[in-house]
Amino acid sequence: MSFVSPLFLWYFVPLVLAAVLVTPRGWRNAVVAVASLVFYVAGAGEGILLLLGLMALNFGAAFLLERDRLAPIDRRAVLVGTVGVDLSCLAVFKYAGFASAQANAIAGWFGGGVEVVQIAQVIGISFFTFHHISYVVDVYRGERTALRDPVAFIAYIAMFPQLVAGPIVRYREIADQLPQRRLHRLDDLAAGFPRFALGLTKKVVVADSLGPLVSAAFDTTSQNMTFAIAWLGAIAYTMQLYFDFSGYSDMAIGLGRMLGFRLPENFARPYSSVTVTEFWRRWHMSLSRWFRDYVYIPLGGNRHGIGKTYRNLFIVFVLTGFWHGANWTYLVWGLFHGALLIVERGFEIGKAPAAPWARIARRAATLLLVVFGWVLFRAADLGQALVMMGHMLIPDVQGLGDVVGVALTHQRGLILLLALCIVLMPARPTGPFLESSRSRFAFGLRTAVIVLGLPYAAILLASGTFSPFLYYQF
């Protein structure tokens, strides 16, 4: 069930919100838990069996991981075993097919062969695996106690706003919200709905409109690829991905608030970053925080010399790349960003204060590097990526061609231009228009989205003009 399907918008969400509002205080988590399992079954089918099995394992293991329950060595063994099962399931259901295909290709070099495993990917497995690991690790570290109420645990792990595409909610961030200490308040609905409306508009009006243009550019054959097509496709995808994924995050955060939960932010104007390091503090922030807390810091972070710091960054970005999907393009994309971070750290780029013109230049350079890297992220394989990236580096006088030229309609061109204007705005807009305050601007933006953008998005949805979120595949 997609956030942008009529079934979800017109029936599922109103029924869930009504149930939360009319049920007694102690029933909120039960409503959220049941609704979330129904939501997952509607979209993932048999994947619910794996989700329920892993929830049972991690819920039970957490009791043994609390301090003073077992000897330290036994607690560590329980933690390693539980996380091992979580990661093994992720490896089998997400990467077994890819790994067997690579083994078959290698065996073919020597005249042999390996059976390629065909396993249907479980929707959202990357996200709920990370939630489970966060839960048991936070309990093991003593940062939070294990939940005694299985309903509250299901509400956390399976909460439908963030179940299939994030944001990744660390247990420590939501543990204090799970006890139902107060009645659901109408001001939660008032605060959450504008955020949900903003995300829906970003997804349907901007991201979905750019989708056909992106597909036309990336599907162009190597013989017909040009400098103009490559750059147009890369820039259009840069906008599509941001408005699609940040739109999903806005909808998830808005839905969570309407249900009485405050989910963590996932984006902070990432394309305004002046270094790639800053970009990763602003893009998919919940994933960056997860890798920082559960991989980078446990490996030693930057505490043991420059060599080990580079090693740790390399490991994190290899994992970041492969976390996104079982394809060499994701691994190379992760290595690309990891290399950029190592270069920035080695030359201390961005640490010293810079003049305004230097910040503008750094922002432009950072954005160009990010756009270049997104080609790897979107390409079907490394061959397609290299063709596009090669044409991006070699200017020519050829145009867009017939297919891309037809895809670049006046409407899509205008939407792409508006999207670029939005992301290229100053990181901290000030001036007479805002009266030195962003609050009035934010209020005006929310009002404009609700009054203008939301009705238009509803019309597009009613006509069937929508597509799945890009991050559903991860």
So which residues are the catalytic ones?
324
Pinpoint the alpha helices (H) of 283-355: 285-291, 306-324, 328-346
Strand, helix or coil for residue 197: helix
CA distance 318 to 464: 38
Residue 129 near residue 94, CB atoms below 8 Å: no
Tell the residue number behind the tokens 């409407």, with chain if given: 411
Residue 140 near residue 74, CB atoms below 8 Å: no
Cis amide linkage into residue 395, ω under 30° from 0: no
Closest CA to 141 of 172, 168, 169, 175: 172
Using a 10 angstrom Cβ sphere, with 0-12 exposed, 13-18 middle and 19 or more buried, the burial of residue 310 is middle
Strand, helix or coil for residue 128: helix
Q: What share of the chain is helix, strand, coil (3-state, %, to 5)?
A: 70, 0, 30
Element (H, E) at 297: none
Residue 355 φ then ψ, to 5°: -65, 160
Greatest alpha-carbon pair distance for the chain in Å reads 72
Closest CA to 298 of 80, 95, 89, 90: 80
CA distance 51 to 211: 31
Query: Which structure tokens are listed for 400?
Result: 């867009």
Query: Which structure tokens are listed for 234?
Result: 């890369």
Residue 406 near residue 200, CB atoms below 8 Å: no
Displacement of CA 50 from its chain's centroid (Å): 22
